[in-house]
Amino acid sequence: MNISYIPLIPLVPLAVFLLLGIFNKKIKPSVSGYIGVIGLSISTVLSLNAAYQYFFISGKVDGVYQTFVDKTVWMHFTDSLHIDMGVLLDPISIMMLLVVSIVSLMVHIYSRGYMKGDDGYTKFFAFLSLFSFSMYGLVLATNLFQIYIFWELVGVSSYLLIGYYYTKPSAVAAAKKAFIVTRFADLGFLIGILIIGYYTGTFDFETLNNPEGNVILNWASSSFMGLSVITWALILIFIGGAGKSAMFPLHIWLPDAMEGPTPVSALIHAATMVVAGVFLVARLFPMYYFVENGFALNIVAYVGAFSALLAAIIAITQTDIKRVLAFSTMSQLGYMMLALGVSGYDGHDGVGYMASMFHLFTHAMFKALLFLGAGSIIHAVHSNYLKDMGGLRKYMPITHITFLIAALAISGVPPFAGFWSKDEILVAAYEHNKLIYYVGVFVAGLTAFYIFRIYFGIFWGKDKKYEHKPKESPWSMTFPLIVLAILSVVGGFIPFSEFIAADKVGFTAHLNYPLAAIAVSVGLIGIILAWIFYKKENSLSDTYAKAFGPFYKWAYDKFYFDEIYLFVTKKILFKRVSGPIAKFDKKIVDGTMVGIGNTTVLGSRKIKGLQSGRVQDYAFSFVIGVVIIAIVFIYLWTV
């Protein structure tokens, strides 16, 4: 398979970024939008072509999907240890290429309408292109170091875009929070990479992931505190992934990240960047599965399940629609993580792996659609809050229909996309771990409930007093909604298991009817409950909120995780640890240096009178000096 054109996929957005970034003020906003869209379209076409070539023509040899690698040595340390740059094509990277391309292109088109008239229009498109470049680089990475570089680059683009409205203090704070929290998690990632590099002598995915390779066969060769060092490295790498994918307890940045423009939330914080953590675990899946009999993988499963549950509970109580969607994203990411965690490796055992990637794909479509729909609504009513919305279905028919499709998809109602992927996840969980399966089913119900809560709250109920009459968004915004809605409907019919499997062979997945029936009925119960509570405005929800009392308040305040973090960082870390260290630095280290300087200045001030400008004074000191030297040499110097 010819893969020489693959590097163009990331490089075109990079070129667009440089063009728009350098000639920021010289390019008219109307032109810069088109440049961004055209750049992304080129990448999308190339990605689609690559996917077609790979899946249907030349990817499969003897029934196994091959891995194509094209790389060059970038930094050469020793003959065995070097860092490469290149592209790696295998089923999941191709799938991620498609996800990133489609969502990013739709968001580019959408942004042309949404950001119209904004001062930083060109800058916005430059940042979007930078993000697309980084994300493409991340999914195509051939080794751990390359993925780390692009990992940080997506972090930077996310930071830039969350803080896009930089005159708003809350946006600046949110950007900083997102960057610091993910950066903190990435420290774990980096340490994990270094451990792997040290103990295995390679960063290369192909070498690391080979089930018959030295790395996986010799995982027990060195251990630390009762676990293999490789397991420790994988846990640390998972911490990095958990930070990016907003897993408990590193999820606190994601809701705040909603301060960014809504297309950014759709692209980065729903569809692409936040799934990087899932992608990372999937990328190293053979290692996770084989090393220490999947010890690290179990951690992934439980963290994912717990995050899914926690986020779904919080999502029910939130009143800002973007925050509901943010917690929903976190919950669905937890779903993907738990699917990876309960997955096996060979053939049909690997259904969890396939389901996770499948859900990643469908979730990207319908969650981006939900966010873009929310953006369209916010554009119309100029508020994020549920209390300012109601009865919008009459004013915004296209947004209404597409939002409904996305809501049905995320609730797992057949035949929408979410149903198929969620069903596979529940099958995998049922076969491997019953506890996680029950959590998954419960979360499925909660998901349907909270998403229809906001759906009914936005589109049904009484009209609110709107300052301007809400009207449907322009064509540039509704077109992406329609495209994504179509994908949310048909996406589930893609026979994913044929294309993506942990052992790269592919298998035929069958619908498990009893399990599917349970999942669907739980989802329908959630929808019906939401219908009873929120279809017409009534006091039922308030009554139940009161009945739950403190628990409701607890969930509404996001279980006080922010406060806990603030307490730990401010009261303990800053005050007890960093404070004294800073004081030591300021007082002792700086103090010594400043003291030396000050003493010199004081001393100089005292003796500067010696340079009086009177030549006779100098001559006098000169004579005295000569006399002293003469006395010393004649009378006192005895050898």
Partner 1 sequence: MISGISIYEILTVTSLLFFIGIYGFITRKNLISILISVEIILNASVINFVVINKYLYPDMLQGVIFSIFIIAVAAAETALAVSIIINLYRQINSVEVKDTEIMKY
Buried b (16+ CB within 10 A) or exposed e, 252-282: bbbbbbbbbbbbbbbbbbbbbbbbbbbbbbb
Residue with Cβ nearer partner 1 (462 or 614) = 614
Residue with Cβ nearer partner 1 (415 or 603) = 603
- What is the closest distance, in whole angstroms, from the C-beta atom of residue 636 to partner 1 in the complex? 21
DSSP character for 61?
E
Residue with Cβ nearer partner 1 (596 or 624) = 624
- What is the closest distance, in whole angstroms, from the C-beta atom of residue 83 to partner 1 in the complex? 58
- What is the closest distance, in whole angstroms, from the C-beta atom of residue 635 to partner 1 in the complex? 17
- What is the closest distance, in whole angstroms, from the C-beta atom of residue 574 to partner 1 in the complex? 47
Please spell the DSSP secondary structure of 385-432, one letter per residue. BGGG---GGGT-HHHHHHHHHHHHHHHT-TTSHHHHHHHHHHHHHHHH
| Residue 442 CB partners (closer than 8 Å, separation 6+) | 309, 522
- What is the closest distance, in whole angstroms, from the C-beta atom of residue 620 to partner 1 in the complex? 5
Residue with Cβ nearer partner 1 (26 or 614) = 614
Residue with Cβ nearer partner 1 (615 or 634) = 615
Residue with Cβ nearer partner 1 (73 or 619) = 619
Residue with Cβ nearer partner 1 (64 or 624) = 624
Please spell the DSSP secondary structure of 260-319, one letter per residue. S-HHHHHIIIIISGGGHHHHHHHHTHHHHHHGGGGHHHHHHHHHHHHHHHHHHHHHHH--
| Residue 451 CB partners (closer than 8 Å, separation 6+) | 324, 328, 370, 407, 410, 411, 530
Residue 150, token pair as written in the block: 């692009």
Cα separation, 389 vs 559, in Å, equals: 26
Residue with Cβ nearer partner 1 (588 or 615) = 615
Residue 442, token pair as written in the block: 């419960």
- What is the closest distance, in whole angstroms, from the C-beta atom of residue 621 to partner 1 in the complex? 10
- What is the closest distance, in whole angstroms, from the C-beta atom of residue 608 to partner 1 in the complex? 5
Q: Which of 103, 156, 104, 163 is nearest to 129 (CA)?
A: 104
- What is the closest distance, in whole angstroms, from the C-beta atom of residue 22 to partner 1 in the complex? 51
Residue with Cβ nearer partner 1 (58 or 600) = 600
- What is the closest distance, in whole angstroms, from the C-beta atom of residue 638 to partner 1 in the complex? 25
Cα separation, 409 vs 489, in Å, equals: 7
Cα separation, 27 vs 564, in Å, equals: 46
- Please, are residues 142 and 150 in contact by the beta-carbon 8 Å criterion? no
Residues that bind partner 1 (CB under 8 A): 608-609, 611-616, 619-620, 623
How many CB atoms are located within 10 Å of the residue 77 CB?
Answer: 10
